[in-house]
Structure 1
Amino acid sequence: MNQFSPEKIVEAQKASLDTLVGLTSKVFDGFERLLELNLQTMRSTLAETREGMKRALSVKDPQELIALQIELLQPVAEKSLSYRHHFLEIAASTRTEFDKVAEAHYEANKRGVQSLVESVGNAGPAGSEAVFAAVQTAINATTTLYETVQSTTKQAVQVAENSFDTAANAVAKVVRHRTAQISRAAKA
């Protein structure tokens, strides 16, 4: 059967459509999870703000107001870290799904190109082996380059996430320390 038969073209189009629908579904799933996270965050923030305002309106002296402000500020860093953690979890799971699909397509395309080169090479005229060997070498070099770039990108993303985690935790620690200092100074 011909490498480019109508049946194979239709089959490839169906597979591409299935992949597109699957990826679109994954995007909507991630978007839905992110929307739910944001709605949940907004609801809790509004409730906490309302409660804080009620408490602030019942304050009788400046010392009590300072203590209330400190109390309300203390959990902000932890909540920000929690939000970031959930956000990154959603993004990572969506990215993982895309990575799986991209890897599967890459492997399928790589096999298809190699199969095409081999079939053309086998049907080629005598003496054309060197040309097809050069093409095969170029394909292998491209494959190695792609895999190296993919590996490097994954490592860079991991380093960036770790650096951000470290910085966020350091900021949270500083905020906790600073609010504790202000609290002690307000009580003195």
Structure 2
Amino acid sequence: MSSLSGELAVASQRASFETLSDAWAHAFGCIEKLTELNLRAAKSTLSENQAIISTALSTKDPQQLFALQAKRAQAVMEEAQSYWRHLYNIMFNAQAELARSAEAQFRRQQRNTQALIDKVSNNAPAGSEAAVSALQSAVTAVSEATSATIETSKRAAEEARGIPENNGEAAASASNKATRQAVEQAKAATKK
């Protein structure tokens, strides 16, 4: 029985190391994507601000300056919405990857546990069939409960993903409408 315990400990440690390595790889991938997103946003903002300053300095009429400011406000709102959509997608995808990794690890551990139980049942002394059967039933019940929890979590995550997207679109629509109205008001004021 001690060789089974040693094999189980080594397999458990190996599985834990693989899981941790996989989680770190996903985390660093997420950090890399976030860094790229932030660098693109910073470069874009810098470039746009330089262009706006150049345009603002060449503008002679204060009304044109107000119109430029209103247009820029609309652009900033759209850029912010785009940034947050990208950020949300990066975070959701990272969470989904980690969940898939955890599920795969669970399935591997489930197979290893089943293999161990099969090995124990094959090497069990006569008269221990009831104990082996109880162990098998317990492992099966835990596996089924965990599988059901994983499936429920997946469905909940998919449903939750739609909530921020819908709310973001509604907020974007409202803010774009308000910004467009401000731009139109600024244009009307410049015509007077």
TM range (shorter): 0.7 to 0.9
Partners in 2 of 1:161 and 1:11 — Cα distance?
A: 36
Q: Which amino acid counterpart does residue 78 of structure 2 have in structure 1?
A: E
8 Å CA contact retained: 2:74, 2:179 = yes
1:146 lines up with 2:142 in the alignment? no
Task: Report the residue type matching 1:151 in the other structure.
Answer: E
**Change in CA separation of 1:96 and 1:115 when aligned onto 2, cut-off 3 Å:** same
CA shift, 1:38, in A, is 0.5
Deviations along 1:131-161, one digit per CA (max 9) or x if unpaired, are: 3333222222222221222222222222222
Q: Mean Cα displacement is larger for which, 9-18 or 88-97?
A: 9-18
The CA deviation string for residues 21-65 of structure 1, in whole angstroms up to 9 with x for no partner, is 444333223212211110110111122223323333444444223
Per the alignment, residue 76 of structure 2 pairs with 76
Q: Percent identical across equivalent pairs? A: 35
Structure 2 residue 108 is the aligned partner of structure 1 residue 108: yes
Cα distance change of structure 1 residues 164 and 93 upon mapping to structure 2, 3 Å threshold: closer
Query: How large is the RMSD of aligned CA atoms in angstroms?
Result: 2.9
C-alpha contact 2:103 2:150 (8 A) present in aligned 1: no
Contact 2:26–2:97 at 8 Å: present in 1 too? yes
Q: State how far apart, in whole Å, the 1-side matches of 2:160 and 2:153 are.
A: 10
Structure 1: where are the runs of 5+ without partners?
A: none
In structure 2, do the counterparts of structure 1 residues 158 and 81 end up closer, same or farther at CA, with 3 Å as the change threshold? farther
Residues of 2 paired with 1:125 and 1:11: CA distance?
24
Task: Report the Cα offset of residue 18 of structure 1.
Answer: 5.0
**Residues 61/82 of structure 1: CA separation in 2 closer, same or farther (3 Å cut):** same
Q: Give the match for residue 4 of structure 2.
A: 3
1:13 is displaced (CA, Å) by 4.8
Q: 3-state SS of the aligned residue for 2:4?
A: coil
**What does residue 134 of structure 1 align with?**
134
> Structure 2: where are the runs of 5+ without partners?
none
Kept in 1: contact 2:121–2:132 (CA 8 A)? yes
Partners of 2:18 and 2:150 in 1: CA distance: 24
The CA deviation at 1:83 is: 1.9
